[in-house]
Structure formats: C-alpha cells, structure tokens
Amino acid sequence: MVDREEKCQGNRGGVVCSLPKTNRTSPKSELREDNIRIADTTKKETDTAKAAIIAFAQSASVLGLKNAVDPNSSLFRRLLWLCCVLAGTGFLIFHMWNRIIYYSTNPVAVNMEVEYKSSLEFPAVTICNNNVFLNSSLNTSVDRDIAYTYILGGQVKDRLQRIEHVNFSDYNWTEFFKKHSHKAKNMFSFGQDCLWSTRPLSPANFTERVTPIGTCYTFNAGSSPKLSTNFASKYAGLDLLLDAELDEYWPITVEAGFTIMIHEQDDVPVPPLLGIPVAPGGIVDLVLSVKQVENLPPPHGKCQERQLAYFDKFSTVNCIEECFFNLTLKQCSCQVPWGRYHDDVPECSPVELLPCWDVDFETFSIALNRCGCHAPCSETIYEYTMFSSKMADGYKHGLVARHPGTTVEYIDRNLLKLRVFYKSLTVEKITQQEAYSMLALFADIGGALGLVLGSTLMTAVEIVDFCAVLAVRYLLGKKI
C-alpha cells in the first residue's frame, strides 16, 4: 500500500506541488513473506501436534510408551523401549487375529454325564421276517407274478413283462401285503415262550405295519401307555420265541431269519435302513443302552426342529420318510403301500411304481439328500450290543413237549429266542455347548493387552478418542 500526500510551495513563477518519496514492495518480496508466515504457522502447528502426541504417549495406559518418548532419556534407551512396545503390539495383533479366527469357526464343546434312573422307558421293537411273502399263500400265477415285482432286485423290464396281463384295478396293495405276509400267530410262539418281564404276551401286544420288506410287527408301539422297566436284567425285558418258517420262503429270498429294529415310539420303522439282521437256530441277546443327545442349532451346529406334514415329531428318519413320500408322489403320482399318508391319493401298483422308482433310484437318492434331514436338536438313541449262544438240548426238548409236531431239527433250523433288555438303568447325556463365546473372546484380548502392554480395552478407547480429537482440531479447526 503506497501513501501519497501532496506538498505545495509558492515561488515567483507560481505554486509548485511535489509528491513525496513512495515506499514500494515488489511481488517477489510479498510472496516470500507469505511463505515465511505459512512456514512459521506450520511449524507452530507441527510443534503443537508433536507436543500433544508426546503428552498423550506419556499419559496413556501403555507400559513402556512413555519411556520411548521421554526427552530426558538417551536415543538408545528410547529406541530400545520403542522396539519393546512395537514387538508387544505385533504379538497383540497376532493374538487378536488368532482369537477372532477361532471365534468365527463357531467351535463346539461336548459335555458328557451319566444319569442314574430308577426306571427307564422301554423302546419300540419292530420285528420283520426277511421273507416278504409266504410261498404257500401265493396260490395263483398272477399273485406270484405280482409278488415277484415287489421283491427288490432284477431288471425292471423283465419284472414288468411278468405283469403285462394283470388287471390292477382288482387289487388293494396294502391288503395284498398283509394277506400274503407271515402272520403274527405263526411267527411268534405265544404263551409262556413270549414274555414281557415274565408276563405272557398275545397278538394284541403287537402292532401290524407294512414295510418295504413285508408285514412287520411292533411291540410297545405307543398306541397304548408306553412300557417302562425298573430293573436291568434279561428277565425284566422282552423275551420272544420266533419261528422263521423257512419252508415258506421264496427261492429268491437271500437272507434267512429276521430283521429287528429298536426305535422310539414316535419314529416310523424303516427296517431296510436301520434294522439288525439275526439268524434262527439259537439265542440272541440285544443288550440296550440309552443316550440322550442335545445338539446345537446353526451357526454352532446343524440340528433343526421343524414341523413335518405327516408326523407329530421331527426326527431324521421321519423326515426321510416324508421326503420319500413326497418324491414318490411327485415322480409316480401315487403312494407306496408301506407309506400311505393321503386317503385321496391312489396306491402305486407295480406297473406304476417300477418305471419311476427303480429307473430313477439315483435321482431319488440325490433328491433325498436335498431334503435337509439333519439331526434333531434333541433325540434319544438306543444303542445295542448283540450276544449269541446255542440253545441247550434240554430247552429244545422242553419246546418239543410244549409244541406238538415240533422236532429238534425244526428248532435248530427255524426257531430263534430273542431277548431285549437294558444293560443298566443309566442314561448317558451328551450335550453340545458353545465352546467360545464373545465374552471369552474379549477376555482373551483383554488378557493379552494386560500381559504384554499392561493395558486394557479402555486403552483402545483412549487412542481412538485422541486421534479423533487431533483430527478435528487440525483439520476443522475446532475443539471437541
């Protein structure tokens, strides 16, 4: 800025005015002065920020940090402390990363305990003869051809050719199975040879069920009050004498004897999948033990509890059965005789069932896996240990005396004494638990902070707070 002031003097020739000397500053000088002022301001701000950082480092709750910035200490001592702080910070970051990765895997711990009971509920026991149809019951060639198509195995084309001449409208397939399968009165030696805790049984104690391997019979099916036992002994369980009736077997039947399935009353019996094969001609003991399993739902486990359309209780076997029914209904537009859940859906005749079921068996298997039949969140598992022995000669002769027309040779070939009982009145409880909670994660991180740097989680809050205050002050020029 130049100040001008005119000065005038009088003389002979008149009045003469002159301008005073002007103080002029060049543009280069002005720019240099601005740069100097900016540099001074920046230096002051830098010094202020540096001082603030040093002050924070000296007051923060991090052991060793104040020694690393102590101006009264030598450079070597400060570098040594800085290395210690950086090493501790690196270890802390590694430990935090390791714990966070472990937490993200949703680990599970399993707790096992044995609980002693005064009594135990007895399971359902389903018994099937491995021969699907009685040879003597199939009196006509048509019945034999139809029965042949229901026996698993063989080429579909050959099996269908055998029934091209059959009028299927005359058949009720559920009744066909019941009519031509082994009867309870012949398969069980009722009286003093079929007992529940030394009490005689009758056919009324067994529920008839149609399955893929013929008509089966379930003891303690749950239609009446469920049975319990308060003693662990072969004399306090199920004691049966079974007749395989081998003379009634088809030539194409592979296994002689029975298939036994131990299951809960609310589970549908599927002997082909979960059955225990036992042979006639001796004594078989199935010694039971009970496990109660509590599984975790996602994300820690895979258990599920959902409502099924045809069963009151969700279980893996019930889910598979329902899935199989829906697939059969979709593929074949009918329902199989051993899985009837709709009164208005017709039963599958062999000519309807074979083409869509056998040919697409692989498709069925893949589709069953897609049904998502995972383990339930709570289930009871019956495990067994099987023991076998021979019948004593005296026992055989006693059977011959009680059952006229029976010979020792027939007993050795056809009869099976089956005993099902508990090993002990205990329940093994297996419970899945969350192995690593969020609280445990924070505790581990806090422990590492305290061990390495003498800090806590609040130290992290201090650092974040300081950085926020510093950024707002020097970027926005405001205080918070």
* 257 located within any domain: yes
In a domain, 9, yes or no: no
Q: Do 462 and 391 reside in the same domain of the chain? A: no
We report the CATH number of the domain holding residue 378 as 2.60.470.10
**Residue of 226, 221, 380, 223 lying closest to 316 (CA atoms):** 380
Q: Is 157 contained in some domain? A: yes
pLDDT tens digits, 162-179? 677 777 777 788 888 889
Residues 78 and 215 both lie in one domain: no
The model's pTM is 0.77
Same domain, 291 and 367: yes
In a 10 Å sphere around its CB, with 0-12 CB exposed, 13-18 middle and 19+ buried, how is residue 82 labelled? Answer: middle
Task: Check residue 347 and report its DSSP letter.
Answer: B
In a domain, 263, yes or no: yes
What residue numbers bound the domain in which 379 lies?
Answer: 113-433
Q: Are residues 292 and 373 in the same domain?
A: yes
- pLDDT digits 0-9 by tens, 26-73: 555 555 555 555 445 444 555 566 666 666 666 666 666 677 777 777
Please check whether residues 264 and 339 belong to one and the same domain.
yes
Considering the domain architecture, whether residues 272 and 145 belong to the same structural domain is answered as: yes
The residue from 418, 433, 448 where one domain ends is: 433
State how far the Cα of 242 lies from the Cα of 393, in Å rounded to an integer. 18
Q: Give residue-wise pLDDT tens across range 235-262.
A: 999 999 999 999 999 888 889 999 999 9
Domain match, 99 and 208 both? no
CA distance 196 to 205: 10
Distance CA 456, CA 449 (A): 6
Identify which has the larger pLDDT, 357 or 352. 352
What is the DSSP secondary structure assignment for residue 474, as one 8-state letter?
I
Please name every residue paired with 423 in a beta bridge, in sequence order, or none if there are none.
none
Residue 121 reports pLDDT greater than 80 = yes
Among candidate residues 84, 53, 95, the one with its CA nearest the CA of residue 453: 84
Element (H, E) at 139: none
When the pLDDT of each residue in the chain is averaged and rounded to a whole number, the result is 82
Q: Using the 8-state DSSP alphabet, how is residue 294 labeled?
A: E
